[in-house]
Structures are given as C-alpha cells and as structure tokens.
Amino acid sequence: MPQRESGMALIATLVILLVVTMLGLTAMRAGLLNLSIATNSQVDNLLFRGSDTALLMVENQVNADPVAAASAVGLVGSATLAPGIEQNNCLTKTGFVAGNCTLTNASNFMSARDAVAVKLTMLNPTRADGEPAKVLTPGSDDTYADDLVIAISTSVLPAFNSAASSSDIQACLNKPSDDSKDVTVETTTDCLSKAGAAFTTTVQEYAFSGAK
C-alpha cells in the first residue's frame, strides 16, 4: 500500500507540472503576441507621423511664403515649372533637401534616431494633350485655373524590416512615385510592398494659385 500511494503522488505531481507548464507557455505566447501588437502599433504610428509631417510641412511653407514656394527651388514651384516631371525631396532633421533619400546618409532621416526616412514627391501632372493639369473653380475658365499639384509622401522604417534589406529599400525609393499615366510602372509603393518593407504612403492633391 505505501508503494501504491507513492506512485499516485508521482503521477499527480507530473500532471500538475504539465498543467503549470502549459499555463506558462500560454502566458508566454500571450505576452509575445501583446509585444508584437504593441511594436506594430508603434511602427504604424511612426510611419504615419513621418508621412503626415511631410505633407503638413508643405502646407506650412506655402502658407508662410507662397512666393518662395512658387519659385523654381520651392516645393511647389519646382513641380509647376516642370509639368509631368516628378520632383523628389527628402525630409531631414533640418527640413527638406532636394533629391531622393539616401539610406546610407545619416542626415537623410527625419529624426535623431535615424529610424524613419521620408520621400516626398511633388508633381504637376499633365493632361492627355501634354498641357499641365489644372483645377477649375466653378464658373471660371482656364485663365483663372489653379495648378494641380500632387504630393506623394512615403515613409519607411529600414531598421524594422527583416524581409527587405537596406539595398532593396533604397532601390524602391529610387523608383517613380506616380503611375497615373501608366499603371504598369512599378512605383516606390509597389516595390516596397513586394519587398515586404514597413512603410506608409499618403497622397494629397492641392490646388495651388500662388504661382500666378
């Protein structure tokens, strides 16, 4: 009888140990899931804030000095004075720099953490006849039309990507941002999606009259 009781105690102990182990694994999985959700939420927030900040800075610059914005080196003027040609800018810690972002350049990130790179493309698209696209005010004619300017803001977090390498992301950033005239063109957004990169793209259209 004492030997049988010892055997039952061992079995009960093993069952309890198994239950405790399963509970521990479940808790660990739940913790990892919560951590993953929190991390993804933070990444989404960083990317959205980066993309949205670029558009907000465009609006602030235009409102603060429309004449400068409409100049050949201005964010809007560089696009309206060269219809149909994308004008790329990189959002850095000190503001916009003309040209595309270079991931190997630490100054081409928008924050001191060198985490988020933001590419801003300004474009005054052209119509089928080759003329610059305009935005008509109801009751007016082409003489008083505003310039249509499309701003495409793409923010990417290279350090968070496990599937896409920095060279893959750089290659994507070097691609065009707009495919409105040819949907077969692989854009920056298309490329980043295929590469599995963490990114956000926001598109905003503006009717700009400051160039007149």
For residue 154, being part of any structural domain is answered with yes
Please count the structural domains in the chain: 1
Dump strand ranges (E) for the chain. 87-92, 95-98, 117-123, 134-135, 146-156, 199-208
Instruction: Answer yes or no: are the C-beta atoms of 201 and 152 closer than 8 Å.
Output: yes
Q: List the domain range (segments joined by +) for residue 53.
A: 47-208
pLDDT digits (tens, 9 = 90+) for 59-74: 999 999 989 999 999 9
For residue 160, being part of any structural domain is answered with yes
For residue 165, being part of any structural domain is answered with yes
Q: How far is CA 94 from CA 36, 57, 91, 110, in A?
A: 32, 12, 8, 8
For residue 184, being part of any structural domain is answered with yes
For residue 140, being part of any structural domain is answered with yes
Give the pTM: 0.79
For residue 12, being part of any structural domain is answered with no
If you count them, how many residues does the chain have? Answer: 212
pLDDT digits (tens, 9 = 90+) for 111-147: 777 889 999 999 999 988 888 888 876 655 555 568 8
